[in-house]
Copies of this chain bind each other. A is one copy, B any other.
Amino acid sequence: MDIVRQESEAPRPESPRRRRFIARGAVVSLAAASGAGVSTGSAQAATPDNLPPNIPQWMREPGTGFLNPAYGLPSPFEKTVLRKLPDQPSPFPTATRTPLQSLFGSTTPNGLFFERHHAGVPAIDPAQHRLLLHGLVERPLLLSMKDLLRFPAVSRSHFIECSGNSMAEFKAPGKGSVQDIHGLLSGAEWTGVRLADVLREAGLLPASRWILAEGADAAAMTRSIPLAKALDDALLVYGQNGEMLRPEQGYPLRLLLPGFEGNMNIKWLRRLKVGDAPFQTREETAKYTDLMPDGTARQFTFQMGVKSVITAPSARQVLDGHGFREISGLAWSGQGRIVRVEVSIDGGRQWQAAALDGPVQSRALTRFRFPWVWSGQEAILQSRAVDEAGNVQPTRAALIASDGQNSVYHYNAIQSWKVASNGEVSNVHV
């Protein structure tokens, strides 16, 4: 079986006409190339090509030796590609958002991975950190990081999404960018230990059904985890995109529950207590429950729904000209692999399959692409994801019809971006 990166059978740009990707201005005479300007001349301007091109300043003298030899940083020209606090100032900000509009592929750089804290970021000395495993087990364990690093390791790519991501869209279309609206979402390659392996060391007692997970932050962030998930694909992770976890992602140890809502992936993990029932913590009673139209609340809505969003073009961007451009975005599901993403450029009347970047992995960000030639007319761009369990991303109307508008969690409706005839892109509810 060949599992090198595959591209799906979805459309490549329709016709193999030449120079359909670029504006005619990019075709130059060499006379223009050897000077500073870019000709707007046509392909007919064939000229001798033995002239050297213009030599930029940065070729005239040696560059800096090593910018940051020990640990590198992005180019100063990328200084606007940053995580972002909410626009509304707060004395106690609790989240930063990932700049989805500026990123490529399916990896979120560690420096741009979104943050959500309940009591700030604790400064944990990994040599002092311990994980206590107790409760309904044969042998309580107190594990150091050194102990955990000696277990067999696994590396897997998974997304994490805050269950409150895009919550404001339940009410009205937000004015912000895709970062503001959907930026509580990131993905990484995680490395750690199977929770099942650690539980086996402790020996589960027959009555065990749930596990309390507690963080070592001042909030002692605490959630109940069903044992079935713990024994399935749960990991105790210490690695993120090849290096140790970042402080704001739980350094030195985090629970990873692939596909479950972000807050359950307990950061700074210090304690696992095995019990026979959910522990009914504050974060699963007063918070993180979903209020339905009939006044009841859903509890333990662990899995994130199937969802996708177009990141380019997206709100607050302005298209800089007509012609070919690629529509690109991310799709993900808490219930498995993405099997299909469809794109509409007319507000949902017609749909066409997008190409998926491979390898497509379970409960991981999947990049989709769709070729588009913008003629300059108004358009409504949408994407719709389908996962391997058969879940289809709902329209906003369908989501509200079933769940109402009181739940601030698990908003996964189709996102609509309106492209105006002047190229401005904005968030609309259609």
Contacts and interface: CB of A to CB of B under 8 A. Distances in A.
Bin the interface of chain A by size: 35 or more
Interface in A30-72: 30, 32-33, 38-39, 43, 46-47, 49, 53, 56, 58-72
A248 B69 CA distance: 9
A178 B120 CA distance: 37
Contacts of A217: 58-59, 63
Contacts of A245: 75
Contact of A66 (B56, B93, B154): B93
Contacts of A113: 72
Interface stretch (A138-146, A166-174, A422-430): A138-146
A337 interface: yes
Between A62, A220, A242, the greatest number of chain B beta carbons within 10 A of the residue's beta carbon is seen for A242
Interface stretch (A127-135, A286-294, A298-306): A127-135
B155 A43 contact: no
Interface in A113-171: 113, 115, 117, 119-126, 128-130, 132, 134-135, 138-144, 146-147, 150-157
Given A33-B142, A56-B216, A77-B126, A189 B151 contact: no
A33 to B, nearest CB: 5
A95 to B, nearest CB: 9
B30 A140 contact: yes
Contacts of A27: 139-141
B203 A18 contact: yes
A23 interface: yes
Contacts of A389: none
Given A72-B83, A139-B19, A4 B362 contact: yes
A319 B160 CA distance: 35
A121 B19 contact: no
B140 A72 contact: no
A313 B52 CA distance: 52
Contact of A69 (B6, B83, B128, B146): B83
A103 interface: yes
Contact of A242 (B13, B69, B108, B140): B108
Interface stretch (A341-349, A353-361, A409-417): A353-361
Contacts of A21: 150-152, 197, 201
A85 interface: yes
Contact of A104 (B63, B128, B243, B273): B243
Interface in A196-221: 197, 200-201, 203, 216-218, 220
Given A63-B218, A72-B83, 6 more contacts: A32-B142, A58-B217, A66-B96, A153-B328, A241-B241, A359-B361
13 contacts: A4-B361, A27-B139, A28-B140, A33-B132, A33-B140, A56-B124, A66-B85, A67-B248, A70-B83, A74-B243, A81-B244, A153-B328, A241-B241
Nearest 8 pairs of A and B residues by beta carbon: A63-B120, A104-B239, A105-B155, A104-B191, A58-B122, A107-B242, A70-B82, A28-B142
